[in-house]
Amino acid sequence: MGTVTLGVSLAVPEPYGSLLQQRRAGFGDPAAQAIPTHVTLLPPTEVDPELLPAVRAHLARVAASGQAFPMRLSGTGTFRPLSPVVFVQVVEGAAACSWLQRRVREASGPLQRELHFPYHPHVTVAHGISEEAMDRAYEELAGFEAAWTVESFALYQQGADQVWRKLSDFAFGGAGLGVPAVPAQGSPVDEPAAFRR
């Protein structure tokens, strides 16, 4: 019957989401346009499509038990040499992200799975590209700053074209499904506004 590939994440809102996606593409990362800018709560996970209703119900319960929290990004980090990734750091909101991802993956739910690496919330800006390009990402985004209130998370599915598309939003406090809490990534933005020099 096959499986579907799902992921759960916190969207990085505009203007920051498009800005970081554009910068990721500019560093030569071929996956940039296929992946909305995000903080992962559940990495790509294969699921039987018949479980989708149970997955949505589970995520709605997780969201209902959560509450909005402040998120702040600042500066860059890297997982090299363990993994070829450069990221923007989560400097506020990491504890809430960790709590959420544990709830999403809990053993009683349909998304239970082990992680290949310890959970570390972050926003990827370069992955699997040349060392020189990753160095450039690390240096050029070192002054990046962004802050907002996280009010929801979302379920995504990866298509056959490798593009990740949102299936549902889950607002904290049981406010319901399908109401986006942050604008979708869209038009180009004025880059300097998101940097503190």
DSSP assignment of 87-143: EEEEEESHHHHHHHHHHHT-TTSTT----SS----EEEEEESS-HHHHHHHHHHTTT
Write down the pLDDT at residue 187. Answer: 33
Find the mean pLDDT for residues 109-116: 92
58-98 tens-digit pLDDT: 999 999 999 999 999 999 999 988 889 999 999 999 999 99
CA distance 36 to 12: 8
Q: What does pLDDT average to over the chain?
A: 88
Beta strand 69-78 with 4-11 is unpaired
Q: How confident is the model at residue 194 (pLDDT cuts 50, 70, 90)?
A: very low
pLDDT of 124-145, one tens digit each?
Answer: 999 999 999 999 999 999 999 9
